[in-house]
C-alpha cells in the first residue's frame, strides 16, 4: 500500500464509525477508497471465518457476518444519502463508481456455497434452539436470500445472475438521475404580473425568492412538487397551466421541452428485460413471482384480485366525482371539456364552493415549527417518549436539524436528522432512510439513527414555512417510518427497526400516523395560526372533515392504476415482445382509470418508485398496508385516540418488533384478530 493510499484510509471520515457521520468533512475523493477498504476487509474476514470454523454457531459465524454487513451499510449510508440530498458531479461520479462493486460483493456473498452450507449447519444443530426469535428469523431470511441470490445455480448461471444484478443497479441509478436532471432543467419565469392571477401569496413569495436567488427578474416556478402543485391548483392562466403540465409529465421522455435529452424509455425496457431474465434463472415464471417471495402477499393472483376488488368498489364513485367536476366547470365557467391541466384547478374551485374554505386558509394554521413540536407532543402522549433538538451536530446543509428521542427515564433510544425544504440538487419526494441500526454490543446498545427527508416550500425571509394539510400528512407519514426504525427493541441489526420487514408491511406504521392529523385533540397540539396563535378552529376542522373524502375515489383509482400497471408490467408484459409499455399502461387505464390523460403523458418515464426505488412489483404495498393501518387505527377509534394502553400496545406489538416476526402475527397480537377491509373502506368513503 502506498503512503498516499494509507493516508486516505487513516484520515477518511467515512471509515470512522465511532460517532455520527462527519457530513461536514466528507468529500467525493474519500468515497471510493472508503468503500474499497471496507469491501477488502470484509472479504478477508469472510475467508478467515470460513477457514477457522468447522463447527459454526451464531456467535462464531453469523454474528461476525452480520457485523460486517452492518459496517458496510454504515459506510455507504452517508454516501447514498448525500447523493440524494446534495448531488454534485464529483459525488455522483464517485457514488456511481461504487455501485457495481457493491452489487458484485453482495452477489458474491449471496452465492457463496461455503457460507450457505454453514448457515444450513447452524439451522440444523442443537445450538439453534437456544437462539431467540430475532436470531432465528435472521437465519431463516438469510437462507431464503441465499437461494434468491442464486446460490444453487450452476456456475454459468451464477455468473450471469451477478452480471444482471450489476447492470440493474447501474440502470436504476441512471433512471433516477435522468429524472432529477430533467426536473431541474426546466423552469417557468414569469415577468408580467398579469400572468400570476389566481396564485396565492405563499406560492408567489417562494417564486419571487427563488428568482432573486438566481438574480432573475420576476417569479420563478419549477417542477419541484410544491411549486408545480400550487401552479396547477391555482393559476387562472389555462395556457400556462398546460405548459407546466406538459413539462412535468414528459420529464425524462422522448417528448416535451427537453425531448430525448434524458429519455428513460429504453432504460425501462432494459430494466424489465433484465428483471425477467433474472427471475427465470431462478425458476420463476416472471419477476413479480420472484419479488413476492419476500413479501406478505402470497401470489400475483392474490394481489391482482385485491386490486380488482378495490377498483370495482371505487370505480362507479370515481366516475360520479369526475362527472361532477366536469359539470361544475361547464355550468360555472363555461368550460366544456376539462383537460388534465384543468382538473386540479376546477377541483379546487368546486371544493371551495362546496365546503367554503381554501387550502390557503388551512395552511395559515400550520407553521412548520408548531407542526413539528406538536407532532413530538402527540408521540409523547402515545408512546411516552420525549423528542428534543440537539445542536452542534454536523449536517449537510444549514436547513437540517438533529433530534434525539429518549424514554421517560432520560435514556436516549434514537436520533434523527430532519431535512424538509425543496432545493436544487436534492431528489424530489419524501422518504425516511436508515443511517444506523440498533444492536446490542459488549459496550451496550448502539442507538438507531434515521434521516427524514421532505420537499416542502422553503421559508420566505425569516418567516416560518406554512404547510398545507397534505404536507402535514406527509410529515406524519415519514415520522411514522422513522418511529418504526427508532423505537425498535430488537438487538440484532438484520431485523431491527425497518430491517427485514416485508415490503408490503413497511407502510403500516407510516400510514397509521397520518390518522392523527384529522383528530381535534391532536390538531390542538400541531396547529397555531401564524399571526394569532389560535389553534385550528372547530368549524374549519368540520369543513375539512366533510371535504376529507372529496374525490377520494378518484385518488383511489389513480393509486390502483399505478399498482395494477406495476404488477402487470412485472407479471404478464413481455419486454422482448412487440407490445409497448405505453400500450400496457393504456390498457390498465382502460380498465381502472376514470380520467384518461393526454397522449403525450409519459408517467411511466418518471415512475421512479418501481424503476429507481424498491417498489418493483410492490407498488400495491401502499393499499395493502392501508388495510392494516386503517384497521389498527380503528382500535384507537374504539378505545380513544390517546388511550394510553392502546398506544403502548401499538408500540410494543408493532413498532418495537421490527422484522423479527411475520407482520400478520404482529398485527393479530395488536388487534386480537386478522385484518378486515372495512376500516379502509369506511375511511375512504367507499362503504
The residues assigned a catalytic role are: 478
| Cα–Cα nearest to 586, from 603, 572, 574 | 603
Annotate 174-211 with b (16+ C-beta within 10 A) or e (fewer): bbbbbbbebbbebebebeeeebbeebeebbbbbbbbbb
Distances (CA, A) of 443 to 18, 495, 553: 12, 20, 53
- Strand order in 449-456's β-sheet? 386-389, 401-406, 412-421, 449-456, 431-436
621 interacts with Zn ion by CB under 5 A: no
Distances (CA, A) of 242 to 5, 236, 262, 334: 54, 11, 21, 18
- Which range of residues in 393-401, 500-508, 599-607, 645-653 is near Zn ion by CB under 5 A? 500-508
> Between residues 250 and 510, which has the closer beta carbon with respect to Zn ion?
510
> Between residues 249 and 506, which has the closer beta carbon with respect to Zn ion?
506
CA-based Rg of the chain, rounded to a whole angstrom?
25
Smallest distance from Zn ion to CB 609, Å: 10
- Which range of residues in 412-420, 503-511, 542-550, 562-570 is near Zn ion by CB under 5 A? 503-511
> Between residues 131 and 680, which has the closer beta carbon with respect to Zn ion?
680
- Which range of residues in 97-105, 110-118, 502-510, 581-589 is near Zn ion by CB under 5 A? 502-510
Annotate 222-240 with b (16+ C-beta within 10 A) or e (fewer): bbbbbbbbbbbbbbebeeb
Smallest distance from Zn ion to CB 431, Å: 7
Residues 504 and 296: beta-carbon distance below 8 Å: yes
Smallest distance from Zn ion to CB 477, Å: 6
Smallest distance from Zn ion to CB 192, Å: 40
Count of residues that bind Zn ion according to CB under 5 A: 2
Write phi, then psi, for 483 (nearest 5 degrees).
-65, -35
CB atoms within 10 A of CB 155: 8
> Between residues 456 and 492, which has the closer beta carbon with respect to Zn ion?
456
> Between residues 188 and 450, which has the closer beta carbon with respect to Zn ion?
450
Write phi, then psi, for 219 (nearest 5 degrees).
-125, 130
Rounded distance between C-alpha atoms, residue 448 and residue 435, angstroms? 8
Smallest distance from Zn ion to CB 503, Å: 11
β-strand partners of 519: none
State which residue has the least CB distance to Zn ion: 510
Cell of 152: 444453487
| Cα–Cα nearest to 686, from 592, 514, 552 | 552
| Cα–Cα nearest to 558, from 271, 351, 310, 299 | 310
- Which range of residues in 42-50, 501-509, 535-543, 574-582 is near Zn ion by CB under 5 A? 501-509
> Between residues 165 and 631, which has the closer beta carbon with respect to Zn ion?
631
- 3-class DSSP state for residue 412? strand
Cell of 12: 477518511
> Between residues 42 and 510, which has the closer beta carbon with respect to Zn ion?
510
Smallest distance from Zn ion to CB 510, Å: 4
Residue 562, classified by CB atoms within 10 Å of its CB into exposed (0-12), middle (13-18) or buried (19+), is buried
φ/ψ region of 446 (left if φ > 0, alpha if ψ in -120 to 50, else beta) reads beta
| Cα–Cα nearest to 264, from 175, 183, 182, 176 | 175
Helix 238-249 / helix 225-234 crossing angle, nearest 10 deg:
150
Smallest distance from Zn ion to CB 623, Å: 12
- Residue with cell string 469491501: 39
> Between residues 355 and 431, which has the closer beta carbon with respect to Zn ion?
431
Smallest distance from Zn ion to CB 427, Å: 15
For residues 505 to 534, the per-residue mask of contacts with Zn ion, x marking binding by CB under 5 A and - elsewhere, is: --x--x------------------------
> Between residues 118 and 481, which has the closer beta carbon with respect to Zn ion?
481
Residues 637 and 314: beta-carbon distance below 8 Å: no
Residues numbered 237-256 forming contacts with Zn ion, rule: CB under 5 A: none
> Between residues 39 and 517, which has the closer beta carbon with respect to Zn ion?
517
Smallest distance from Zn ion to CB 295, Å: 15
Cell of 10: 487513516
- Which range of residues in 50-58, 168-176, 451-459, 504-512 is near Zn ion by CB under 5 A? 504-512
Residue 444: its H or E element: strand 444-446
Residue 433: its H or E element: strand 431-436
Smallest distance from Zn ion to CB 451, Å: 14
Q: State the residues that interact with Zn ion by CB under 5 A.
A: 507, 510
Amino acid at each position: 500500500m502506498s503512503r498516499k493510499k494509507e493516508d486516505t484510509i487513516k484520515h477518511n471520515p467515512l471509515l470512522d464509525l465511532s460517532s455520527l457521520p462527519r457530513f461536514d468533512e466528507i468529500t467525493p475523493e474519500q468515497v471510493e477508497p472508503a468503500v474499497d477498504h471496507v469491501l477488502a476487509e470484509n472479504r478477508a474476514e469472510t475467508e478467515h471465518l470460513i477457514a477457522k470454523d468447522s463447527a459454526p454457531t451464531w456467535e462464531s459465524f453469523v454474528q461476525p457476518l452480520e457485523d460486517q454487513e452492518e459496517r458496510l451499510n454504515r459506510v455507504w449510508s452517508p454516501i447514498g444519502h448525500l447523493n440524494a440530498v446534495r448531488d454534485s458531479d464529483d459525488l455522483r461520479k464517485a457514488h456511481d463508481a461504487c455501485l457495481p462493486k457493491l452489487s458484485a460483493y453482495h452477489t458474491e456473498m449471496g452465492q457463496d456455497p461455503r457460507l450457505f452450507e454453514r448457515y444450513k449447519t447452524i439451522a440444523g444443530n442443537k445450538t439453534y434452539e437456544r437462539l431467540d426469535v430475532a436470531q432465528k428469523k435472521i437465519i431463516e431470511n438469510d437462507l431464503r436470500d441465499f437461494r434468491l441470490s442464486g446460490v444453487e445455480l450452476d456456475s454459468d448461471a451464477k455468473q450471469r445472475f451477478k452480471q444482471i444484478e450489476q447492470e440493474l443497479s447501474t440502470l436504476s441509478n441512471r433512471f433516477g438521475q435522468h429524472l432529477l436532471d430533467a426536473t431541474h432543467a426546466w423552469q417557468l419565469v414569469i415577468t408580467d404580473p398579469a400572468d400570476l392571477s389566481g396564485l396565492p401569496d405563499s406560492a408567489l413569495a417562494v417564486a419571487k425568492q427563488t428568482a432573486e436567488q438566481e438574480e432573475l427578474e420576476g417569479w420563478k416556478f419549477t417542477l419541484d412538487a410544491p411549486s408545480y402543485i400550487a401552479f396547477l391548483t391555482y393559476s387562472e392562466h389555462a395556457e400556462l397551466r398546460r405548459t407546466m403540465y406538459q413539462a412535468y409529465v414528459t420529464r425524462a421522455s422522448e417528448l416535451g421541452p427537453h425531448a430525448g435529452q434524458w429519455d428513460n424509455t429504453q432504460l425501462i425496457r432494459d430494466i424489465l428485460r433484465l428483471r425477467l431474465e433474472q427471475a427465470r434463472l431462478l425458476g420463476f415464471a416472471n419477476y413479480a413471482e420472484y419479488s413476492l417471495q419476500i413479501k406478505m402477499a402470497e401470489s400475483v393472483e392474490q394481489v391482482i384480485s385485491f386490486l380488482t376488488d378495490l377498483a370495482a368498489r371505487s370505480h362507479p364513485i370515481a366516475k360520479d366525482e369526475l362527472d361532477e367536476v366536469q359539470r361544475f366547470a361547464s355550468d360555472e365557467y363555461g368550460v366544456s371539456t376539462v383537460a388534465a391541466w384543468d382538473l386540479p384547478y376546477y377541483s379546487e374551485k368546486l371544493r371551495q364552493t362546496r365546503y367554503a374554505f381554501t387550502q390557503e386558509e388551512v395552511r395559515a394554521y400550520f407553521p412548520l415549527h408548531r407542526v413539528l413540536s406538536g407532532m413530538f407532543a402527540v408521540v409523547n402522549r402515545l408512546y411516552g417518549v420525549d423528542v428534543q433538538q440537539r445542536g452542534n451536530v454536523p449536517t449537510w446543509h444549514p436547513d437540517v436539524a438533529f433530534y434525539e428521542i429518549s424514554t421517560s427515564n432520560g435514556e436516549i433510544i434514537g436520533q434523527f436528522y430532519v431535512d424538509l425544504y425543496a432545493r436544487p440538487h436534492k431528489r424530489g419526494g419524501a422518504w425516511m432512510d436508515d443511517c444506523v441500526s440498533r444492536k446490542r454490543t459488549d459496550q451496550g446498545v448502539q442507538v438507531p439513527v434515521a434521516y427524514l427527508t421532505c420537499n416542502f416550500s422553503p421559508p420566505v425571509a425569516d418567516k416560518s414555512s406554512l404547510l398545507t394539510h397534505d404536507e402535514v400528512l406527509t410529515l406524519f407519514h415519514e415520522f411514522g417510518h422513522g418511529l418504526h426504525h427508532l423505537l425498535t427493541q430488537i438487538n440484532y441489526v438484520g431485523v431491527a427497526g425497518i430491517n427485514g420487514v416485508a415490503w408490503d408491511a413497511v407502510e403500516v406504521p407510516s400510514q397509521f400516523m397520518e390518522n392523527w392529523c384529522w383528530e381535534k385533540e391532536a390538531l390542538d397540539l400541531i396547529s397555531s395560526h401564524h399571526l394569532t396563535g389560535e389553534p385550528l378552529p372547530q368549524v374549519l376542522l368540520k369543513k375539512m372533515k366533510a371535504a376529507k373524502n372529496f374525490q377520494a375515489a378518484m385518488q383511489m383509482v389513480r393509486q390502483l392504476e399505478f399498482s395494477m400497471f406495476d404488477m402487470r408490467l412485472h407479471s404478464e408484459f413481455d419486454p422482448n415482445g412487440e407490445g409497448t409499455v405505453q400500450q400496457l399502461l393504456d390498457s390498465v387505464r382502460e380498465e381502472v382509470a376514470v380520467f384518461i390523460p393526454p397522449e403525450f403523458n409519459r408517467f411511466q418515464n418518471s415512475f421512479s418508485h418501481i424503476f429507481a426505488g424498491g417498489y418493483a412489483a410492490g407498488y400495491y404495498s401502499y393499499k395493502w398496508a392501508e388495510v392494516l393501518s386503517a384497521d389498527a387505527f380503528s382500535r384507537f377509534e374504539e378505545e380513544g385516540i390517546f388511550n394510553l394502553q392502546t398506544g403502548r400496545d401499538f408500540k410494543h406489538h408493532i413498532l418495537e418488533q421490527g422484522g423479527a416476526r411475520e407482520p400478520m402475527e404482529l398485527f393479530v397480537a395488536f388487534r386480537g384478530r386478522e385484518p378486515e377491509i372495512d376500516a379502509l373502506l369506511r375511511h375512504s368513503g367507499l362503504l
